[in-house]
Chain A
Amino acid sequence: MREAYKIDHQLQLITAIKDNNSIALKEFYTSNYPKIEALILKNSGSQEHAKDVYQEAFISMWNNVRNELFTPQNDSALQGYLYQIAKNKWMDILRSKRFRTTQALTEERMVYLKQDDTVDDHNAYDEKLNTTMTAFKDLGQPCKDLLKTFYFEKKSLREIALDLNIEETSVRNKKYRCMEKLRAIVLASKS
């Protein structure tokens, strides 16, 4: 019963993360940072490193949760998962800096590199996503706000219309035009 209750709590956390519930995201973000900061500071990193690595790890975790790549096994599963991703990312950085000179490919290292691949894989898809992210970052503020409210905060067209005090149909049209604009920027930065 007690165990079931704990996993139940993890499921709620996961549901909240999938919904981009900002209270849950913030709570989860702020409560897990100190542990990872301590790890990176202890291993020759700075606070700036800690923040970057943690945020990258957090976004990976969030994407994996949404793509159902993660299922909780115990009460602190998601917290441990986030820690593991951040740790691996920091190891990657340390490795690339310090061990740029040849290093023997021992069996142990092979295993390490392999398990790394499953946590985050860099591929063409990531690149495409990055292009889109940059394009969205530089999109005009009105479009940016609208798309963020609709796609990230998951507010309905009606709610947005009420907030902006305009017709629902014009929100709908604006959203479409903003998407077209974003798409055009992505296409332009590709060629």
Chain B
Amino acid sequence: MKDNSNISQELLETIERYYNDTMSKQERIDFELRLDESSEFRTQVEDIKTLILGIENQSLKEQLDVFHKDIPTHSETPSASGIFTFRKLAAAVIILLAVTGFWWFNTPQNDKLYSKYFTPDPGLPTTMSSNSNYDFYDAMVNYKQGDYQTAIAKWDAIQPKNDTLNYFLGVAYLANKNEAKAIGFLNKATQNTDFPLLNDAHYYLGLAYLKDGDIDFAKKNLQKSSNENSKKLLEKLD
């Protein structure tokens, strides 16, 4: 690095934008033109890039040491610690049994059924192609990662809403433990009888009503769904 080439705050931030790929098209074109023309500029950009990379690499390195502490250690004098871990394990199992038992006998039947049958829809595949529905699939990535809050916020912003959107909003709200909102969106999604995911929509709507404590509506919707799980759940409800 050359020490006589001063780097201004503005230049630093421009290079950051370049590095993070947040430049506008025009700015990028101008920037790359300047890169081509001036070797001094190239060195400056290279220097800053190395600084940022160094920060990131060292940060990661230090982070890894923290992660490493959380890897369960094993194979240390197995004879003595073997019994010890067995005891710990036994204690853990007993506590777990006690807790689940307590939970099992203290939650109402419907909640139990709900928890047994509710798993969020796996979502649609998000391929990284140039998709016209970018916003929708962007939120789908959050949804799949279990970040329902963000997915809901992004989907909520899309207008107008179609069946698929209403459906996933409903499931996301349900996964996020907001039955009332889920019922609203899923109801909308079940209006159109040509909707390809209609079966699933009725199933989740049934679950939402079940969670909400409205058994009649739950049954009505489950009856409209030909899902395997719907039938099983219906039998249990009768």
Residue of A nearest to B73 (CB): A47
B94-125 contacts to A (CB < 8 Å)? 125
Given contacts A129-B54, A136-B54, A190-B1, contact A30 B70 (CB under 8 A): yes
Main secondary structure of the interface of B (DSSP, over half): helix
Q: Among A25, A133, A190, which residue has its beta carbon within 8 angstroms of that of B57?
A: A133
Chain B positions 61 through 77: 1 when the CB is less than 8 Å from some CB of chain A, otherwise 0: 11111011011000000
User: Is A112 located at the chain interface by the 8 A CB criterion?
Assistant: no
List CB contacts (< 8 Å) of A108-151 with chain B: 125, 128-129, 131-133, 135-137, 147-148, 151
Distance of A34 Cα from B145 Cα, bound (Å): 25
In the docked arrangement, what's the CA distance between A53 and B63, Å?
16
Chain A residues with CB below 8 A from B52, complex form: 151
Q: Are B128 and A51 in contact (CB under 8 A)?
A: no
Interface string of A154-191 (1 = CB under 8 A from B): 00000000000000000011001001101100110010
Question: Does A63 lie within 8 Å of B64, measured CB to CB?
Answer: no
Interface size of A by CB at 8 A reads: 45
Q: Which residues of A contact B61 (CB under 8 A)?
A: 55, 59, 133
Q: Which of B128-144 contact A (CB under 8 A)?
A: 128, 141, 144
Task: Please report which residues of chain A, range 17-45, place their CB below 8 angstroms from some CB of chain B when the two chains form the complex.
Answer: 20, 22, 25-26, 29-30, 33-34
List the B residue with the shortest CB-CB distance to A182.
Answer: B51
Does A151 lie within 8 Å of B59, measured CB to CB? yes
* Contact status A132-B54, CB under 8 Å: yes
B54 to chain A minimum Cβ distance, whole angstroms, is 3
Output the nearest chain A residue to B56 by Cβ-Cβ distance: A152
Interface residues of B in 154-169 (CB under 8 A from A): none
A25 touches B63 (CB 8 A): yes
Say yes or no: A151 contacts B58, CB within 8 Å. no
Query: A136 near B70 (CB under 8 angstroms)?
Result: no
Given the interface contacts A29-B64, A176-B9, does A129 sit within 8 Å of B141 by beta carbon? no
Min CB distance B182 to A, Å, is 25
Interface size bracket, B side: 20 to 34
On chain B, the residues within 8 Å of A147 by CB distance are 55
**B126 interface residue per 8 A CB criterion:** yes
A129 contacts B55, CB within 8 Å? no
Task: Give Cα A136 to B52, complex, Å.
Answer: 10
A15 within 8 A of B: yes
Which chain A residues border B54 with CB–CB below 8 Å?
A: 129, 131-133, 135-136, 186
CA A1 to CA B122, docked complex, whole Å:
13
- Tell me the residues in window 25-75 of chain B with beta carbons closer than 8 Å to chain A beta carbons: 47-48, 50-65, 67-68, 70-71
Could you tell me if A30 and B67 are in contact, using CB atoms closer than 8 angstroms?
yes
Q: Are B144 and A186 in contact (CB under 8 A)?
A: no
Q: With contacts A55-B64, A180-B7 known, what are 4 further pairs, Cβ within 8 A?
A: A58-B64, A132-B51, A135-B54, A186-B1
* Chain A residues close to B by CB (< 8 Å): 1, 4-5, 8, 11-12, 15-16, 20, 22, 25-26, 29-30, 33-34, 51, 55, 58-59, 62-63, 125, 128-129, 131-133, 135-137, 147-148, 151-152, 172-173, 176, 179-180, 182-183, 186-187, 190
7 pairs of A and B residues whose beta carbons are closest in the complex: A132-B54, A152-B59, A133-B58, A176-B9, A136-B58, A187-B3, A29-B67
